[in-house]
Amino acid sequence: MPLETPEEYAARLSSYVAGKDHLRTLKRTPVAIAGILKGVQKSRLLRRPEPDRWSVAEILAHLTEAELVFGYRLRHVVGAPGTTIQAYDQNIWQNNAGYLIRDPKGALAYFTAMRAMNVAFVQSLDEEKRGRYGIHTERGRESVMRMVELFAGHDENHIRQVKALVTPVIAGNKK
């Protein structure tokens, strides 16, 4: 399967949250993930479903690392409108995230704390600051609120993945 272009990727993420309140989605994601993972054993979180697909622990580590990037980008764009928003290779970052992968509960706690800070930051911005933009090296012009939309879609994408990975285990335990 060919990889998505940056434009196709952004369009897919946007489609997941079309018509939704993006800030509300961002606020609810940590709670939603915690609810999905309730009662799931750590060994299951660490297990990859296939050699080339991430485990739940790896998804949590990715969300945590991505939240760090999101917070930096938001603050950089608000402080220096028109600035370059550097793309990054998520797989390189993932290879460096062993400290988070080994501790899925810790990763979720870090993600939750950083997400609360980033949502509070966006909520504190007036309309003019929310409209400030940077130039993403792959996707072009992105305002603060466009970044919020894309991260809400990113959340939805990974919530779906986490559900798919743990739901059969939970359903199997109910039998």
Domain boundaries along the sequence of the chain: 21-168
Look at the domain 21-168 and name its fold: Four Helix Bundle (Hemerythrin (Met), subunit A) (1.20.120)
Radius of gyration of the chain (CA): 16
Confidence at residue 93, expressed as pLDDT on a 0 to 100 scale: 79
Per-residue pLDDT, 174: 44
Residues 24 and 156 sit within 8 Å (Cβ to Cβ): no
Q: Tell me, what's the pLDDT at 168? A: 63
In tens, the pLDDT along 97-140 reads 777 888 999 999 999 999 999 999 999 999 999 999 999 999 99
- Residues of the chain with confidence (pLDDT) below 70: 1-2, 168-175
Task: Encode 107-127 in three state secondary structure.
Answer: HHHHHHHHHHHHHHHHHHCCH
Per-residue pLDDT, 81: 96
Q: What is the pTM of this model?
A: 0.91
Angle at 35 between CA 60 and CA 38, to 5 degrees: 85
Q: Give residue 101's pLDDT.
A: 81
